Amino acid sequence: MTDDREIMSIYRSGDRDRAFRAIIESYRERLYWHIRRFTCSHEDTDDLLQETFVKIWTGLPDFREDARLFTWIYRIATNETLNFLRRKKTHGMANAEPLENILYRKVDDDPYFNGNQLQRELHKAIQKLPPRQKAVFNMRYFEEMPYNDMAEILGVSAGALKASYHHAYSRIKEELQKIF
Amino acid sequence: MSKDEKDILTGLEGLEKMPYRIPEGYFDGLEARIHARIAEKDVPARRRPLRDRLFRRTAYLSAAAVLGIIAAGGLLMLRNTVQTDDYGAERYAMYQDVDIIPVTVPESVWLSSYDEEASDTLSTEDIINYLVYIGIEPEEFDNE
pLDDT digits (tens, 9 = 90+) for A85-99: 988 887 766 666 777
The structural domains of chain B, with segments of one domain joined by +, span 48-80, 89-143
% of chain A surpassing 70 pLDDT: 97
For residue B26, pLDDT beyond 90: yes
pLDDT at A61 over 50: yes
Q: Do B1 and A118 touch (CB under 8 A)?
A: no
pLDDT of residue B109: 47
Q: Is B42 on the interface with A (CB under 8 A)?
A: no
- pLDDT-based confidence at A146, cuts 50/70/90? very high
Flag whether the ipTM exceeds 0.90.
no
- Averaged confidence pLDDT in chain B: 70
Q: Look at residue B49 and tell me whether its pLDDT is greater than 60.
A: no
Contact call for B19 and A113, based on CB within 8 A = yes
Please tell me which of the candidates B15, B30, B33 has its beta carbon nearest to residue A119: B15
CA dihedral A165, A168, A170, A173 (to 10 degrees): -120
Concatenating the DSSP letter of every residue in B11-56 gives: SSTTTTS--B---TTTTTTHHHHHHHHHHHHHGGGSPPPHHHHHHH
CATH number at residue A106: 1.10.1740.10
Contacts of B17 (CB under 8 A, 6+ apart): A115
Question: Min CA distance, B9 vs chain A (Å)?
Answer: 7
Task: Say how many domains are in chain A.
Answer: 1
pLDDT score of B13: 75
List CB contacts of B34: < 8 A, sequence separation 6 or more: A24, A50, A53, A54, A57
pLDDT at B15 over 80: yes
* Contact check, Cβ <8 Å, B1/A46: no
Type of residue at A134: K
Cβ neighbors of A108 (< 8 A, separation 6 or more) are A120, A124
**Do the chains contact at A37 and B34, CB–CB below 8 Å?**
no
CB contact at 8 A, A34 and A78: yes
- Contact criterion met (CB below 8 Å) for A166 and B1: yes
Helix (H, G, I), strand (E, B) or coil at A96: coil
- Please report which confidence band the pLDDT of residue B12 belongs to, taking 50, 70 and 90 as the band edges: confident
Residue B1 has its nearest CB partner, among A25, A28, A165, at A165
What residues make up the domain containing A116? 4-179
What integer pLDDT is reported at residue A20 of this predicted model?
A: 95
pLDDT at B45: 37
**pLDDT of B103:** 52
**What are B61-119's pLDDT values in tens digits?**
888 889 999 998 888 888 776 655 555 566 555 555 544 444 555 554 455 444 444 45
What ranges in A13-144 are assigned the alpha helix state H?
A: 16-39, 42-59, 69-94, 99-109, 117-127, 131-137
- Residues A54, B38: C-beta atoms closer than 8 Å: yes
Confidence of residue A67 (pLDDT cuts 50, 70, 90): confident
Contacts of B53-58 with CB under 8 Å at 24 or more apart are: none
Chain B positions touching A37 (Cβ under 8 A) are 18
